[in-house]
Structure 1
Amino acid sequence: MAKQSAGVLLHRATATGIELLLAHMGGPLWERKDEHAWTIPKGEPEEGEELLDAARREFSEELGLPVPVVDLVDLGQARQSSGKVVTVWTGRADLDVTAVVPGTFSMEWPPRSGRTAQFPEVDRAQWFSPDEARSKLVKGQVVFVDRVLELLART
Protein backbone atom coordinates (compact mmCIF):
# COMPACT_ATOMS: atom_id res chain seq x y z
CA MET A 1 0.00 0.00 0.00
CA ALA A 2 1.27 3.48 -0.88
CA LYS A 3 2.29 5.86 1.86
CA GLN A 4 -0.42 8.34 2.75
CA SER A 5 -0.50 11.95 3.79
CA ALA A 6 -3.41 14.17 4.83
CA GLY A 7 -3.77 17.92 4.93
CA VAL A 8 -5.96 21.00 5.18
CA LEU A 9 -6.00 23.69 2.48
CA LEU A 10 -7.71 26.78 3.88
CA HIS A 11 -9.24 29.34 1.54
CA ARG A 12 -10.60 32.83 2.13
CA ALA A 13 -12.45 35.46 0.13
CA THR A 14 -10.83 38.88 -0.26
CA ALA A 15 -11.77 42.02 -2.17
CA THR A 16 -9.67 40.74 -5.08
CA GLY A 17 -10.86 37.12 -5.05
CA ILE A 18 -10.06 33.80 -3.43
CA GLU A 19 -6.78 33.15 -1.61
CA LEU A 20 -5.29 29.85 -0.48
CA LEU A 21 -3.03 29.24 2.53
CA LEU A 22 0.25 27.52 1.66
CA ALA A 23 3.37 26.75 3.68
CA HIS A 24 6.96 27.00 2.44
CA MET A 25 8.86 23.81 3.16
CA GLY A 26 11.53 24.21 5.81
CA GLY A 27 15.06 22.92 6.05
CA PRO A 28 18.22 23.51 4.07
CA LEU A 29 17.04 21.70 0.93
CA TRP A 30 14.23 24.21 0.34
CA GLU A 31 15.53 27.49 1.78
CA ARG A 32 16.63 29.00 -1.55
CA LYS A 33 13.71 27.66 -3.59
CA ASP A 34 10.38 29.38 -4.13
CA GLU A 35 8.70 28.07 -7.27
CA HIS A 36 7.16 24.65 -6.56
CA ALA A 37 8.63 24.74 -3.02
CA TRP A 38 5.38 25.37 -1.13
CA THR A 39 2.98 22.78 0.22
CA ILE A 40 -0.44 22.27 1.69
CA PRO A 41 0.06 21.79 5.47
CA LYS A 42 -0.04 18.01 5.70
CA GLY A 43 1.65 14.89 7.00
CA GLU A 44 1.45 11.16 7.51
CA PRO A 45 -1.20 9.59 9.73
CA GLU A 46 -0.16 7.67 12.81
CA GLU A 47 -1.09 4.01 12.94
CA GLY A 48 -4.87 3.64 13.27
CA GLU A 49 -5.46 7.40 12.93
CA GLU A 50 -8.28 8.58 10.68
CA LEU A 51 -7.06 10.71 7.77
CA LEU A 52 -9.10 13.77 8.75
CA ASP A 53 -7.75 13.58 12.31
CA ALA A 54 -4.22 13.30 10.87
CA ALA A 55 -4.87 16.32 8.62
CA ARG A 56 -5.94 18.43 11.59
CA ARG A 57 -3.03 17.25 13.76
CA GLU A 58 -0.44 17.82 11.04
CA PHE A 59 -1.79 21.32 10.28
CA SER A 60 -1.36 22.17 13.97
CA GLU A 61 2.09 20.59 14.19
CA GLU A 62 3.39 22.32 11.07
CA LEU A 63 1.92 25.78 11.67
CA GLY A 64 1.70 25.81 15.46
CA LEU A 65 -1.97 26.82 15.21
CA PRO A 66 -5.11 24.69 15.26
CA VAL A 67 -7.32 24.34 12.21
CA PRO A 68 -9.97 27.04 12.57
CA VAL A 69 -13.42 25.77 13.57
CA VAL A 70 -15.02 25.48 10.13
CA ASP A 71 -16.74 22.82 8.07
CA LEU A 72 -14.11 20.92 6.12
CA VAL A 73 -14.94 19.52 2.70
CA ASP A 74 -13.08 16.51 1.28
CA LEU A 75 -11.22 17.42 -1.93
CA GLY A 76 -10.22 13.81 -2.58
CA GLN A 77 -6.83 12.32 -3.23
CA ALA A 78 -3.89 12.85 -5.57
CA ARG A 79 -0.85 10.64 -6.12
CA GLN A 80 2.46 12.48 -5.81
CA SER A 81 5.52 11.78 -7.96
CA SER A 82 6.98 9.91 -4.95
CA GLY A 83 4.00 7.54 -5.08
CA LYS A 84 2.55 8.94 -1.84
CA VAL A 85 -1.22 9.50 -1.89
CA VAL A 86 -2.29 12.85 -0.44
CA THR A 87 -5.85 13.43 0.81
CA VAL A 88 -6.87 17.07 1.34
CA TRP A 89 -9.80 18.88 2.96
CA THR A 90 -10.66 22.53 2.52
CA GLY A 91 -12.53 25.06 4.60
CA ARG A 92 -13.21 28.78 4.43
CA ALA A 93 -11.37 30.60 7.20
CA ASP A 94 -8.91 33.37 7.77
CA LEU A 95 -5.67 32.75 9.62
CA ASP A 96 -3.08 35.28 10.72
CA VAL A 97 0.14 34.01 9.13
CA THR A 98 2.22 36.19 11.46
CA ALA A 99 1.11 33.91 14.31
CA VAL A 100 2.56 30.76 12.71
CA VAL A 101 5.08 28.96 14.96
CA PRO A 102 6.36 25.99 12.96
CA GLY A 103 7.16 22.61 14.42
CA THR A 104 10.64 21.19 13.87
CA PHE A 105 12.31 18.06 12.53
CA SER A 106 15.83 16.65 12.84
CA MET A 107 18.12 15.57 10.03
CA GLU A 108 21.80 14.97 9.45
CA TRP A 109 23.27 18.26 8.22
CA PRO A 110 25.55 18.82 6.46
CA PRO A 111 25.16 15.51 4.61
CA ARG A 112 27.48 12.71 5.81
CA SER A 113 28.77 14.96 8.63
CA GLY A 114 27.45 12.77 11.43
CA ARG A 115 25.87 15.90 12.98
CA THR A 116 22.15 16.25 13.52
CA ALA A 117 20.47 19.64 13.24
CA GLN A 118 16.93 20.89 13.90
CA PHE A 119 14.97 22.68 11.18
CA PRO A 120 11.43 24.08 10.97
CA GLU A 121 8.95 21.81 9.16
CA VAL A 122 7.80 24.93 7.32
CA ASP A 123 9.58 28.26 7.49
CA ARG A 124 6.62 30.49 6.68
CA ALA A 125 3.00 30.48 5.58
CA GLN A 126 1.35 32.86 3.15
CA TRP A 127 -1.93 33.49 1.35
CA PHE A 128 -1.82 33.24 -2.46
CA SER A 129 -4.23 33.79 -5.34
CA PRO A 130 -5.07 30.58 -7.23
CA ASP A 131 -2.70 31.51 -10.08
CA GLU A 132 0.14 32.22 -7.65
CA ALA A 133 -0.61 29.00 -5.76
CA ARG A 134 -0.29 26.96 -8.96
CA SER A 135 3.29 28.19 -9.46
CA LYS A 136 4.25 27.95 -5.78
CA LEU A 137 2.88 24.49 -4.91
CA VAL A 138 4.83 21.32 -5.51
CA LYS A 139 3.47 20.00 -8.79
CA GLY A 140 1.60 17.01 -7.36
CA GLN A 141 -0.58 19.26 -5.19
CA VAL A 142 -1.64 21.80 -7.84
CA VAL A 143 -4.74 19.71 -8.59
CA PHE A 144 -6.19 20.77 -5.21
CA VAL A 145 -6.24 24.45 -6.27
CA ASP A 146 -8.57 23.56 -9.12
CA ARG A 147 -10.68 21.38 -6.86
CA VAL A 148 -11.21 24.26 -4.41
CA LEU A 149 -12.23 26.55 -7.29
CA GLU A 150 -14.62 23.90 -8.67
CA LEU A 151 -16.16 23.46 -5.21
CA LEU A 152 -16.64 27.20 -4.78
CA ALA A 153 -18.18 27.52 -8.25
CA ARG A 154 -20.78 24.87 -7.30
CA THR A 155 -21.73 26.43 -3.95
Structure 2
Amino acid sequence: MAEYTARRGDVSAAGGVVFRRRKKDGSPLFLLVHRPRYKDWTFPKGKLDKGESFLDAAVREVAEETGINPQVHLPLGTVTYTTGRRNNKVVRYWLMEGKKKDFKPNKEVDRVLWLSADQARLQLTYDRSEKLLQWAQLRLEHPDDGKVYLVRHGKAGKRKDFEGQDVDRPLSKSGRKQAQALNQFLSGYPLMRLATSPALRCRETLDPLARTMALPAESEGSLSEGSSPELVAKFIGTLAGTTTVLATHGDVIANLIGMLRADGVKIKGPKVSMKDDIEKGGIWVLRTRGRRIRRARYVPPPVRSD
Protein backbone atom coordinates (compact mmCIF):
# COMPACT_ATOMS: atom_id res chain seq x y z
CA MET A 1 0.00 0.00 0.00
CA ALA A 2 1.05 3.59 -0.55
CA GLU A 3 3.03 5.45 2.09
CA TYR A 4 0.95 6.78 4.97
CA THR A 5 0.87 10.55 5.40
CA ALA A 6 -0.75 11.33 8.75
CA ARG A 7 -2.52 14.58 9.56
CA ARG A 8 -2.61 16.12 12.98
CA GLY A 9 -5.58 14.65 14.82
CA ASP A 10 -5.75 11.45 12.74
CA VAL A 11 -6.23 8.24 14.71
CA SER A 12 -4.06 5.49 13.18
CA ALA A 13 -5.24 1.89 13.46
CA ALA A 14 -4.85 -1.47 11.73
CA GLY A 15 -6.69 -4.76 11.58
CA GLY A 16 -7.39 -7.95 9.73
CA VAL A 17 -10.16 -9.68 7.83
CA VAL A 18 -9.44 -13.22 9.01
CA PHE A 19 -10.74 -16.30 7.21
CA ARG A 20 -10.46 -20.08 7.46
CA ARG A 21 -11.70 -22.73 5.05
CA ARG A 22 -14.35 -25.32 5.77
CA LYS A 23 -12.97 -28.85 5.68
CA LYS A 24 -15.96 -30.26 3.81
CA ASP A 25 -15.93 -27.96 0.78
CA GLY A 26 -13.10 -25.44 1.16
CA SER A 27 -15.45 -22.44 1.27
CA PRO A 28 -14.27 -19.52 3.42
CA LEU A 29 -15.61 -18.53 6.82
CA PHE A 30 -14.85 -15.04 8.11
CA LEU A 31 -14.09 -14.07 11.71
CA LEU A 32 -16.24 -11.36 13.31
CA VAL A 33 -15.77 -9.93 16.79
CA HIS A 34 -18.31 -8.41 19.16
CA ARG A 35 -17.19 -5.40 21.19
CA PRO A 36 -19.37 -4.93 24.29
CA ARG A 37 -18.24 -1.32 24.71
CA TYR A 38 -19.74 -0.36 21.35
CA LYS A 39 -22.29 -3.19 21.07
CA ASP A 40 -21.18 -3.84 17.49
CA TRP A 41 -19.99 -6.66 15.23
CA THR A 42 -16.92 -5.86 13.19
CA PHE A 43 -13.43 -7.10 12.24
CA PRO A 44 -10.57 -7.15 14.77
CA LYS A 45 -8.53 -3.95 14.76
CA GLY A 46 -6.91 -1.44 17.08
CA LYS A 47 -4.67 1.59 17.43
CA LEU A 48 -0.97 1.53 16.66
CA ASP A 49 1.50 1.53 19.54
CA LYS A 50 4.23 4.16 19.40
CA GLY A 51 6.77 3.30 16.70
CA GLU A 52 4.75 0.30 15.50
CA SER A 53 4.11 -0.38 11.81
CA PHE A 54 0.58 -0.82 10.49
CA LEU A 55 1.18 -4.47 9.60
CA ASP A 56 2.71 -5.31 12.98
CA ALA A 57 -0.23 -3.60 14.70
CA ALA A 58 -2.74 -5.52 12.57
CA VAL A 59 -1.19 -8.89 13.49
CA ARG A 60 -0.91 -7.94 17.17
CA GLU A 61 -4.51 -6.71 17.41
CA VAL A 62 -5.90 -9.88 15.81
CA ALA A 63 -3.91 -11.99 18.28
CA GLU A 64 -4.89 -9.90 21.31
CA GLU A 65 -8.59 -9.73 20.48
CA THR A 66 -9.13 -13.30 19.22
CA GLY A 67 -6.20 -15.42 20.44
CA ILE A 68 -5.38 -16.34 16.83
CA ASN A 69 -1.88 -15.93 15.39
CA PRO A 70 -2.78 -15.17 11.77
CA GLN A 71 -0.96 -15.80 8.52
CA VAL A 72 -0.93 -12.58 6.47
CA HIS A 73 -2.01 -12.95 2.84
CA LEU A 74 -2.72 -9.64 1.07
CA PRO A 75 -3.25 -5.93 1.80
CA LEU A 76 -6.87 -4.78 1.53
CA GLY A 77 -6.42 -1.03 1.69
CA THR A 78 -7.40 1.89 3.87
CA VAL A 79 -10.80 2.57 5.42
CA THR A 80 -11.63 5.88 7.11
CA TYR A 81 -14.45 7.19 9.23
CA THR A 82 -15.14 9.88 11.82
CA THR A 83 -14.99 8.86 15.47
CA GLY A 84 -17.38 10.01 18.19
CA ARG A 85 -14.81 12.67 19.07
CA ARG A 86 -14.87 13.92 15.46
CA ASN A 87 -11.38 12.66 14.72
CA ASN A 88 -10.58 11.11 11.34
CA LYS A 89 -9.78 7.44 11.98
CA VAL A 90 -7.53 5.80 9.39
CA VAL A 91 -7.54 1.99 9.47
CA ARG A 92 -5.41 -0.23 7.26
CA TYR A 93 -6.50 -3.83 6.78
CA TRP A 94 -4.92 -7.07 5.59
CA LEU A 95 -6.48 -10.33 4.48
CA MET A 96 -5.33 -13.00 6.94
CA GLU A 97 -5.85 -16.72 7.49
CA GLY A 98 -6.31 -18.28 10.91
CA LYS A 99 -7.24 -21.55 12.58
CA LYS A 100 -10.27 -21.97 14.80
CA LYS A 101 -9.38 -22.23 18.47
CA ASP A 102 -11.04 -21.83 21.84
CA PHE A 103 -11.84 -18.18 22.46
CA LYS A 104 -11.35 -16.49 25.81
CA PRO A 105 -13.30 -13.24 26.31
CA ASN A 106 -11.17 -10.18 27.03
CA LYS A 107 -11.68 -6.50 27.81
CA GLU A 108 -12.09 -5.61 24.12
CA VAL A 109 -14.05 -8.57 22.73
CA ASP A 110 -16.56 -10.84 24.46
CA ARG A 111 -17.72 -13.01 21.52
CA VAL A 112 -16.48 -14.19 18.14
CA LEU A 113 -18.26 -15.82 15.21
CA TRP A 114 -17.03 -17.69 12.13
CA LEU A 115 -19.55 -16.96 9.36
CA SER A 116 -19.97 -17.39 5.63
CA ALA A 117 -19.75 -14.19 3.58
CA ASP A 118 -23.55 -14.01 3.26
CA GLN A 119 -24.04 -14.53 6.99
CA ALA A 120 -21.31 -12.03 7.85
CA ARG A 121 -22.91 -9.32 5.70
CA LEU A 122 -26.09 -9.65 7.73
CA GLN A 123 -24.21 -9.65 11.05
CA LEU A 124 -21.83 -6.73 10.48
CA THR A 125 -22.88 -3.45 12.06
CA TYR A 126 -21.33 -0.96 9.63
CA ASP A 127 -21.69 -0.42 5.89
CA ARG A 128 -17.94 0.17 5.62
CA SER A 129 -17.35 -3.31 7.05
CA GLU A 130 -19.64 -4.84 4.43
CA LYS A 131 -17.70 -3.10 1.65
CA LEU A 132 -14.44 -4.33 3.16
CA LEU A 133 -15.80 -7.88 3.32
CA GLN A 134 -16.87 -7.73 -0.32
CA TRP A 135 -13.38 -6.63 -1.37
CA ALA A 136 -11.74 -9.28 0.84
CA GLN A 137 -13.91 -12.00 -0.67
CA LEU A 138 -13.01 -10.87 -4.19
CA ARG A 139 -9.28 -10.76 -3.41
CA LEU A 140 -9.49 -14.20 -1.85
CA GLU A 141 -11.08 -15.67 -4.98
CA HIS A 142 -9.10 -13.63 -7.54
CA PRO A 143 -5.98 -12.00 -6.02
CA ASP A 144 -5.18 -10.15 -9.26
CA ASP A 145 -8.65 -8.57 -9.55
CA GLY A 146 -8.84 -4.82 -9.11
CA LYS A 147 -11.18 -1.87 -9.18
CA VAL A 148 -10.37 1.54 -10.64
CA TYR A 149 -12.48 4.65 -10.08
CA LEU A 150 -11.76 6.81 -13.14
CA VAL A 151 -12.88 10.36 -12.32
CA ARG A 152 -13.17 13.42 -14.51
CA HIS A 153 -11.92 16.47 -12.61
CA GLY A 154 -14.42 18.87 -11.09
CA LYS A 155 -15.49 22.10 -12.72
CA ALA A 156 -12.63 24.53 -13.28
CA GLY A 157 -12.52 28.19 -14.21
CA LYS A 158 -12.92 29.05 -17.89
CA ARG A 159 -9.83 28.74 -20.08
CA LYS A 160 -10.41 32.15 -21.68
CA ASP A 161 -10.46 33.85 -18.27
CA PHE A 162 -7.22 32.25 -17.05
CA GLU A 163 -3.96 33.99 -17.93
CA GLY A 164 -1.48 31.30 -16.89
CA GLN A 165 -0.63 27.89 -18.31
CA ASP A 166 -3.71 25.70 -18.69
CA VAL A 167 -2.11 22.98 -16.56
CA ASP A 168 -2.24 25.46 -13.65
CA ARG A 169 -5.94 26.31 -14.03
CA PRO A 170 -7.64 25.60 -10.66
CA LEU A 171 -11.08 24.34 -9.72
CA SER A 172 -13.90 26.83 -9.41
CA LYS A 173 -16.01 27.16 -6.27
CA SER A 174 -18.44 24.65 -7.78
CA GLY A 175 -15.55 22.30 -8.57
CA ARG A 176 -14.29 22.43 -4.99
CA LYS A 177 -17.76 21.40 -3.81
CA GLN A 178 -17.58 18.48 -6.23
CA ALA A 179 -14.18 17.48 -4.81
CA GLN A 180 -15.62 17.43 -1.29
CA ALA A 181 -18.60 15.36 -2.47
CA LEU A 182 -16.24 12.90 -4.19
CA ASN A 183 -14.36 12.54 -0.91
CA GLN A 184 -17.57 11.75 0.97
CA PHE A 185 -18.62 9.24 -1.69
CA LEU A 186 -15.34 7.32 -2.09
CA SER A 187 -13.88 7.48 1.42
CA GLY A 188 -16.33 4.79 2.52
CA TYR A 189 -14.59 2.24 0.28
CA PRO A 190 -11.30 0.46 0.98
CA LEU A 191 -8.71 2.24 -1.19
CA MET A 192 -5.06 1.47 -1.84
CA ARG A 193 -3.79 4.10 -4.30
CA LEU A 194 -4.58 7.53 -5.70
CA ALA A 195 -3.11 8.93 -8.92
CA THR A 196 -3.80 12.10 -10.88
CA SER A 197 -2.99 13.99 -14.03
CA PRO A 198 -0.34 16.66 -13.34
CA ALA A 199 -2.98 19.34 -14.07
CA LEU A 200 -3.89 21.38 -10.99
CA ARG A 201 -7.65 20.91 -11.47
CA CYS A 202 -7.17 17.13 -11.31
CA ARG A 203 -4.89 17.31 -8.28
CA GLU A 204 -7.39 19.55 -6.49
CA THR A 205 -10.19 17.10 -7.30
CA LEU A 206 -8.38 14.41 -5.27
CA ASP A 207 -6.99 16.67 -2.51
CA PRO A 208 -9.86 16.18 0.00
CA LEU A 209 -9.87 12.41 -0.56
CA ALA A 210 -6.08 12.22 -0.22
CA ARG A 211 -6.23 14.08 3.10
CA THR A 212 -9.06 11.93 4.45
CA MET A 213 -7.52 8.62 3.37
CA ALA A 214 -3.98 9.69 4.38
CA LEU A 215 -2.77 8.51 0.97
CA PRO A 216 -0.53 10.48 -1.41
CA ALA A 217 -2.00 11.39 -4.80
CA GLU A 218 0.72 10.30 -7.22
CA SER A 219 1.29 12.42 -10.33
CA GLU A 220 0.93 10.24 -13.45
CA GLY A 221 1.81 11.57 -16.89
CA SER A 222 -0.29 9.01 -18.77
CA LEU A 223 -3.41 10.67 -17.29
CA SER A 224 -2.55 14.03 -18.87
CA GLU A 225 -4.92 15.73 -21.29
CA GLY A 226 -4.41 14.34 -24.79
CA SER A 227 -2.97 10.98 -23.68
CA SER A 228 -3.80 8.03 -25.92
CA PRO A 229 -6.23 5.38 -24.65
CA GLU A 230 -3.58 2.71 -25.20
CA LEU A 231 -1.22 4.53 -22.83
CA VAL A 232 -3.95 4.94 -20.20
CA ALA A 233 -4.94 1.26 -20.46
CA LYS A 234 -1.29 0.26 -20.08
CA PHE A 235 -1.03 2.24 -16.84
CA ILE A 236 -4.28 0.77 -15.52
CA GLY A 237 -2.79 -2.65 -16.27
CA THR A 238 -0.09 -1.96 -13.67
CA LEU A 239 -2.75 -1.59 -10.95
CA ALA A 240 -3.67 -5.29 -10.74
CA GLY A 241 -5.00 -6.32 -7.35
CA THR A 242 -5.60 -2.78 -6.10
CA THR A 243 -8.46 -0.37 -5.53
CA THR A 244 -7.33 2.91 -7.08
CA VAL A 245 -8.83 6.33 -7.79
CA LEU A 246 -7.57 8.14 -10.90
CA ALA A 247 -8.33 11.80 -11.69
CA THR A 248 -8.02 12.78 -15.34
CA HIS A 249 -9.65 14.68 -18.22
CA GLY A 250 -12.79 14.30 -20.30
CA ASP A 251 -11.00 13.48 -23.55
CA VAL A 252 -8.88 10.80 -21.85
CA ILE A 253 -11.96 9.07 -20.43
CA ALA A 254 -14.02 9.39 -23.63
CA ASN A 255 -11.25 7.89 -25.75
CA LEU A 256 -10.62 5.04 -23.30
CA ILE A 257 -14.31 4.10 -23.00
CA GLY A 258 -14.63 4.29 -26.79
CA MET A 259 -11.68 1.93 -27.23
CA LEU A 260 -13.04 -0.50 -24.64
CA ARG A 261 -16.47 -0.53 -26.29
CA ALA A 262 -14.88 -1.21 -29.69
CA ASP A 263 -12.90 -4.07 -28.12
CA GLY A 264 -16.08 -5.71 -26.86
CA VAL A 265 -15.67 -4.87 -23.18
CA LYS A 266 -18.99 -4.86 -21.32
CA ILE A 267 -19.97 -1.20 -20.80
CA LYS A 268 -22.86 -0.08 -18.61
CA GLY A 269 -23.37 3.61 -19.15
CA PRO A 270 -23.95 6.30 -21.78
CA LYS A 271 -22.22 6.26 -25.15
CA VAL A 272 -19.40 8.78 -25.21
CA SER A 273 -17.42 10.04 -28.18
CA MET A 274 -15.92 13.32 -26.98
CA LYS A 275 -14.90 14.97 -23.73
CA ASP A 276 -18.14 16.97 -23.46
CA ASP A 277 -20.00 13.65 -23.15
CA ILE A 278 -18.23 13.09 -19.81
CA GLU A 279 -19.75 15.00 -16.89
CA LYS A 280 -17.30 16.85 -14.70
CA GLY A 281 -17.01 14.89 -11.48
CA GLY A 282 -18.43 11.78 -13.18
CA ILE A 283 -16.96 8.38 -12.32
CA TRP A 284 -16.35 5.31 -14.46
CA VAL A 285 -15.84 2.21 -12.30
CA LEU A 286 -13.52 -0.21 -14.10
CA ARG A 287 -13.21 -3.83 -13.02
CA THR A 288 -9.91 -5.44 -13.92
CA ARG A 289 -8.39 -8.90 -13.82
CA GLY A 290 -4.65 -8.98 -14.15
CA ARG A 291 -3.69 -6.38 -16.75
CA ARG A 292 -7.04 -6.49 -18.57
CA ILE A 293 -10.09 -4.24 -18.12
CA ARG A 294 -13.08 -6.59 -18.00
CA ARG A 295 -16.03 -4.20 -17.65
CA ALA A 296 -16.93 -0.57 -16.97
CA ARG A 297 -19.89 1.07 -15.24
CA TYR A 298 -20.81 4.75 -15.08
CA VAL A 299 -21.67 6.54 -11.83
CA PRO A 300 -22.97 10.14 -12.11
CA PRO A 301 -21.17 12.88 -10.15
CA PRO A 302 -22.06 12.84 -6.44
CA VAL A 303 -22.72 16.57 -6.97
CA ARG A 304 -23.22 18.07 -10.41
CA SER A 305 -21.47 21.32 -11.30
CA ASP A 306 -23.43 24.58 -11.28
Shorter chain as denominator, the TM-score bin is 0.7 to 0.9
Name the structure where helix makes up a greater proportion of residues. Answer: 2
| One-letter identity of the residue aligned with 1:100 | F
Whole-Å Cα distance in 1 between the matches of residues 89 and 138 of structure 2? 24
- The count of residues paired between Structure 1 and Structure 2 equals 128
Q: Is the 8 A contact 1:80 1:141 kept in 2?
A: no
Larger Rg: 2
Q: Residue 88 of structure 1: CA displacement?
A: 0.9
Whole-Å Cα distance in 2 between the matches of residues 38 and 3 of structure 1? 20
Whole-Å Cα distance in 2 between the matches of residues 17 and 59 of structure 1? 21
Q: Residue 66 of structure 1: CA displacement?
A: 3.9
| One-letter identity of the residue aligned with 1:58 | E
Name the structure where strand makes up a greater proportion of residues. Answer: 1
Q: Is the 8 A contact 2:15 2:93 kept in 1?
A: yes
Give yes or no for the alignment of 1:92 onto 2:102: no
Whole-Å Cα distance in 1 between the matches of residues 81 and 123 of structure 2? 16
Whole-Å Cα distance in 2 between the matches of residues 87 and 71 of structure 1? 13
- RMSD over aligned Cα atoms: 1.9
Q: Secondary structure at the match of 1:55?
A: helix
Q: Secondary structure at the match of 1:122?
A: coil
| One-letter identity of the residue aligned with 2:118 | D
Q: Residue 16 of structure 1: CA displacement?
A: 7.4
User: Which residue of 2 is the match for residue 18 of structure 1?
Assistant: 28
TM-score using structure 1 length: 0.73
Q: Percent identity?
A: 31
| One-letter identity of the residue aligned with 1:78 | V
Bigger relative CO (Cα 8 Å, ≥ 6 apart):
1
Give the unaligned 5+ runs of structure 1. 31-36, 105-120
Matching residue within 7, 21, 24 for 2:15: 7
Give yes or no for the alignment of 1:79 onto 2:80: yes
Distance 1:135 1:72, change over 3 A: same
Deviating above 3 A after TM superposition, structure 1's stretches of 4 or more consecutive aligned residues are none
| One-letter identity of the residue aligned with 1:137 | L
| Aligned counterparts, 1:124-135, within 5 A | 124-135=111-122
TM-score using structure 2 length: 0.39
| One-letter identity of the residue aligned with 2:137 | L
Q: Residue 133 of structure 1: CA displacement?
A: 1.4
